[in-house]
A = this chain, B = another copy of it.
Amino acid sequence: MKAHYDGALARKVDAPSADISKFLLSIRKRFSVTEAEAALLEDKMHETASFSAGDYLVHEDERITYSSLILEGFACRCKVSEDGQRQIMQIQIPGDFVDLHSYPLEVLDHSIATLSNCRIVKFPHAEISRVVDQSPRLARILWFSTMVDASIHREWIMNIGSRSGKERIAHLMCELYCRSEVVGLTDGHSFNMPLNQTQIGECLGFSQMHVNRMLKELRELGLLTVNSRRVDIMDYEGLKSLAGFDPNYLYLTSRVS
């Protein structure tokens, strides 16, 4: 497949073989899921689609009838303000159920845009209703997973509202590292991260130039380097400490029920 320009709409329907193993990895980090339950979920997800970097999976205010699970690539929740500035509210990585929020909400208050080429699988809302009715346990797990998104939102409010420049970037990188690790996308303390400096700025409320300066300082402190689409953390403990990063808000430990 050829590369596309940003914004070009390029959907492609693939063969019906959705590998939701990354999603199951992240669920099983918290809950024990039986094979039967996993199959119940997998059975409902056939139709996959591919998007190019910069495409929109969902536009703000659009009514949608299915939710998307990311198989490959990065996406984000975002809104564009009147003056044209984009704010990214959450980064979505493989294994994330990116717009499960739209199931109870019916209409999304924000857009979902890809940050790299992405492959997703669709989970029709009608099927979600069936799963929820069949299995209160899976219903609760799905609800739980949307609540983790809310928790991540809160930590971002904390990050943008209360932390300094270096701290904010360090915190974002710690979060992405931890979440990537859960779905097996890290290599030591390195991981792929397709955001450029402009997009990092859109997450944190910074200009691209300021992101550049802060990254330079973090590099000079020996904490991490951010090269082309890759993050190498040189000193994870130092980075966590600088950021005041406490992964509790990601709810990555085993739940009771």
Contact = CB atoms under 8 A, between A and B. Distances in A.
Contact of A140 (B104, B151, B249): B104
Given A136-B132, A161-B160, A151 B105 contact: yes
B150 A146 contact: yes
A163 B160 CA distance: 12
B87 A147 contact: no
B150 A101 contact: yes
Interface in A135-170: 136, 139-140, 143-144, 146-151, 153-158, 160-163
A228 interface: no
Q: How many copies does the complex hold?
A: 2
Report, as a range, how many residues of chain A touch the other chain.
35 or more
A210 interface: no
Nearest to A249: B109
B205 A256 contact: no
Contacts of A156: 157
A221 B192 CA distance: 48
Given A81-B244, A109-B151, A146-B147, A162 B205 contact: yes
Contacts of A110: 151, 154
A106 interface: yes
A248 interface: yes
Contacts of A216: none
Q: Name the prevailing secondary structure of the A interface residues.
A: helix
Given A61-B248, A104-B144, A132-B136, A109 B154 contact: yes
Contacts of A204: 161
A101 to B, nearest CB: 5
A157 B153 contact: yes
Given A87-B162, A109-B249, A82 B244 contact: yes
A106 B257 contact: yes
B205 A81 contact: no
B161 A87 contact: yes
Given A106-B256, A109-B155, A157-B157, A85 B162 contact: yes
Nearest to A133: B136
A124 B10 CA distance: 48
A143 B104 contact: yes
Contacts of A109: 151, 154-155, 248-249, 251
A152 to B, nearest CB: 9
Q: Which 6 A-B pairs have the closest CB atoms?
A: A161-B205, A153-B153, A150-B150, A104-B144, A109-B249, A104-B143
